[in-house]
Amino acid sequence: MKQIFVIIVAAGSGRRFGSPLPKQFCNLAGRPLLMHTIDAMRESVPSSRVLLVLHSDYISLWHELCQRHKFSEQGIDIVSGGDTRSQSVRNALANVPCSADVYVLVHDGARPLADHAVTTRVMQALEAGDAAVVPAIPVTDSLRHVSPDGNSDAVDRSNYVAVQTPQGFRADILHKAYDGSDAATDDASLVQSVFPDIKISITPGAAYNIKITSPTDIAVAEALMRTRSKF
Ligand code: C5P
């Protein structure tokens, strides 16, 4: 049986969110958003070890919130984050063995609605032998490619997907990618920049698996939580 680590990156400042408290600690349906994210991953992969990446300034606040909300910290190791998302993942990876027999799921703390369905598809692709797996959904808006001179051209949206997390990797591949590259907005892009020959496998994500970016997303997430079981 393979060992599974879940890295939840939640060390961002959430500047775009516009609240004094980073978005991962904001209230979603009665408790901090991050608690929903952690529970979703613990329920989806109960045998995993969770590495929770937090900014060092917020670790004591997190412990206070856990006490206040009677949220179990069992099975969760806290790691200090870095200045960028990639640095935060790298700090967590230092606690993961570099082995082909270990799987790593990397998940944004700001995606509280990733559920069993999405995570199971990622795990199944890893178990089938894929080394790097991303959940993704079709793009529904029309797309235009904008050039530096400001001109733009329509592109065929059927050639594109929007990438989500949790992304799944063989731990040895993710380690080597992080040894060989500096930064990317997501982990699969970083793996591909170091290993151009590795196939990034795409599995269906879910429209409800939104990343909380602005305060209105909280209201959307609460509505999605109420109706998700109907999808
Ligand atoms: O900023 P954005 O929403 O794209 O960040 C995605 C995730 O990466 C968030 O959950 C955020 O907390 C995390 N992050 C991090 N360390 C950073 C920057 C972002 O863990 N330095």
Express each pLDDT in 167-188 by its tens digit: 999 999 999 999 877 777 789 9
Give the residues surrounding ligand 1 with Cβ less than 6 Å away: 9-12, 24, 53, 81-85, 88, 108-110, 211
Top mutation candidate among 26, 59, 85 for ligand 1, by most atoms within 8 Å of CB: 85
CB of 191 closer than 8 Å to CB of 177: yes
Express each pLDDT in 33-71 by its tens digit: 999 999 999 999 999 999 999 999 999 999 999 999 999
Q: What residue ranges in the chain does DSSP mark as E strands? A: 3-10, 27-28, 31-32, 49-54, 76-80, 102-108, 132-138, 143-146, 152-155, 161-163, 167-170, 201-204
Per-residue model confidence (pLDDT) at position 34: 98
Express each pLDDT in 100-112 by its tens digit: 999 999 999 999 9
Average pLDDT score over the chain = 93
Per-residue model confidence (pLDDT) at position 229: 63
CB of 126 closer than 8 Å to CB of 162: no
Structure confidence at residue 231 as a pLDDT band (50, 70, 90): low
